[in-house]
Amino acid sequence: MSGQIVAFQGEHGAYSEIAALKFFPNSELIPMKLFQDVFDALHNNSIDCAVVPIENSIEGSVNEIYDLLLSTEKKITAEIFLRVNHCLIALPNNTTITRVFSHPQALAQCRNYLKKRNVDSLPTYDTAGSVRLIKENQILDAAAIASKSAAKFYNMTILDENIEDRKNNYTRFLVLSDEKTSPSEKDRTSMIFGLKHTPGSLFSVIREFDHSKINLTKIESRPTKEKPWEYNFYVDFEGHVEEDTVKSTLANVQKKCTFLKILGSYKRGTIN
């Protein structure tokens, strides 16, 4: 896909930019500091689409994205799986490292490595942004955890590669836009729903999918932020909203929910 304006959170060299380039190789990529900035740009139609991370195979979900999905009118139109290889990056010829900057998810994914090096972990808003921070401020005792692309973009030195604690380290990204998708026979649908705070309410919804032989691939709960200890549920399942079986199942599910919002149906991504 080409010719579109695509936003991502972070600085040039961020994993979100790498994912965006994988899906939009010939488009204009716009870095933004905060996830809220990305969703605001979607709302204002100043960009065509956005690429945002939703979960990591080791550290789990990006909760802020789930909260932002609740309010956006844009749809999920694709997903991207990206193999994450972390590097330890510093100023050229610098080997005396006492502290490491990076996004909290990246620091967590390299927890054992950092413990062995006996360095302090300092969270920042972005992996590539940490490289930029060290470069612009000439911080001599610090390194950043980020991608090879970030090291290349800022002309920094890679001290060590593949430092993540587990090598099956993947991040799943979502593409958000106004594009309409059609069934491909290899689809996934994401939705949010709320339930009455009564016994068996969640089970009654899951049972509808079981009756229809629709495979749930993920279920996640998030606080409603309106009443203590009440939750919204985010569910991914196989199938497309235009399929008859999915339509009838969702009609039955809707009757059991206080609200239901379809976030999008899209072709399932591949891990490679």
User: Is 171 one of the annotated active-site residues of the chain?
Assistant: yes
How far apart CA 76 and CA 55 sit, in angstroms, is 14
How far apart CA 164 and CA 175 sit, in angstroms, is 25
The catalytically annotated residue of 24, 153, 173, 193 is: 173
Task: Please check whether residue 9 is in contact with residue 35, taking contact to mean a CB–CB distance below 8 angstroms.
Answer: yes
User: Is 259 one of the annotated active-site residues of the chain?
Assistant: no
How far apart CA 171 and CA 14 sit, in angstroms, is 12
The catalytically annotated residue of 127, 171, 189, 249 is: 171
Active site residues: 171, 173
